Amino acid sequence: MRIPTVTRNEGGDCSLMRIFPESKSVNSGAAAPSRAKAGQGRSVLIADDHEDTRLMLRTILEMNRFHVLEATNGEAVVQLTEIERPDLVLMDLSLPILDGLAALRLIRANKTISEVPIIFLSGRAEPASQIAAREAGCNDYLVKPVNLGQIVQLIELRLGFKTELSEVT
């Protein structure tokens, strides 16, 4: 699978390269757990420049039946959000081309996509980064490393599948 990214041509214009994975159908005959049904049909855009982080997040989200989109830089986040209209964005603060804060501000300034929930996943634990993200309009800020169960629960909460977070160990 190739990851959606923004490329620049010789004239400096941006174009979006989108290659989607093949569709897979699995029918085990067993009923899926109720949480796995929650994500069905909902899309989450993962924005991180580290492939291993995207792989980890994509795996846990696909296990919970979310459709996953990926971006490797802030410019691609804004473009994919405009084009694909994901139900939620998980974004790193440190992204190339446009950092996470700049991408967040552009999304919040665009009336057609300004309401999409955005959760920052960042290695920056200092309060100044968290305050800047909140002031720019992020819904939640989690510091890496994060508990994968906590991420899924927070997504379910933001998308209205849950009314409160339970303790995750």
| Percentage with pLDDT > 90 across the chain | 69
Q: Is the peptide bond preceding residue 21 cis, with omega within 30 degrees of 0?
A: no
Domain extents in the chain: 39-158
- CATH class for the domain made up of 39-158: alpha beta
148 burial level (CB within 10 Å; 0-12, 13-18, 19+):
middle
Residue predicted with more confidence, 156 or 4: 156
Residues making up the chain, counted from first to last: 169
Kindly report the pTM of this predicted structure: 0.75
**Dihedral Cα 60, 144, 163, 87, nearest 10 deg:** -60
CB 104 within 8 A of CB 133: yes
pLDDT for residue 21 is more than 50: no
